[in-house]
Amino acid sequence: MDRSAFKAQTAGEAADHVSYYAKLSWQERLAVASYLNSIAYNYPLHDCLFRSCWGSYIAFVAHITEYGLPDFISFDHDLGLEESGYDCTKWLVDYCLDHQQQLPDFAVHSQNPVGKENIQRLLENFVKKVGFM
């Protein structure tokens, strides 16, 4: 994300962030969310598997299958397609078990409280039951 693109705003403009983000495409909003997560969880932006080009189950599976596990994954439940972030999480757990890989560091940032809890519980149970992370 280009930090030079930020500009000084009045208090009114800054408070009107909802209309600003509503004008962005879903890809741009996803890039902003990825950047903010990298700051909040202190990981390099390039190591995150939460980017606009991986906003689907198929892309998630294809990326990990081809390149292996990233250092960090930030999960969203509602991907807007048939499969959800929970489906990605189940696949990831199976992948880690099948390949005897440690689960990458993760966060769950979903605004869907039930979906967020389901993903979080699955990941936490995996860590507890399997005993490594």
User: Residue by residue, what is the 3-state secondary structure of the chain?
Assistant: CCHHHCCCCCHHHHHCHHHHHHHCCHHHHHHHHHHHHHHHCCCCHHHECCCHHHCCHHHHHHHHHHHCCCCEEEECCCCCCCCCHHHHHHHHHHHHHHHCCCCCEEEECCCCHHHHHHHHHHHHHHHHHHCCC
Assess if residue 4 is contained within a domain. no
Q: How many angstroms separate the CA atoms of 54 and 34, rounded?
A: 11
Q: What is the pLDDT of residue 97?
A: 92
Lookup result for tokens 């560091």: 105
Q: Which residues of the chain have pLDDT under 50?
A: 50-53, 133
Q: What is the pLDDT of residue 75?
A: 84
Q: What is the pLDDT of residue 5?
A: 62
Assess if residue 71 is contained within a domain. yes
Q: What is the pLDDT of residue 51?
A: 41
Q: What is the pLDDT of residue 52?
A: 37
Assess if residue 120 is contained within a domain. yes
Q: What is the pLDDT of residue 69?
A: 86
Assess if residue 76 is contained within a domain. yes
Give me the domain span that covers residue 94.
Answer: 9-130
Instruction: Give how many domains the chain has, as a whole number.
Output: 1
Q: How many C-beta neighbours within 10 Å does residue 10 have?
A: 8
Assess if residue 47 is contained within a domain. yes
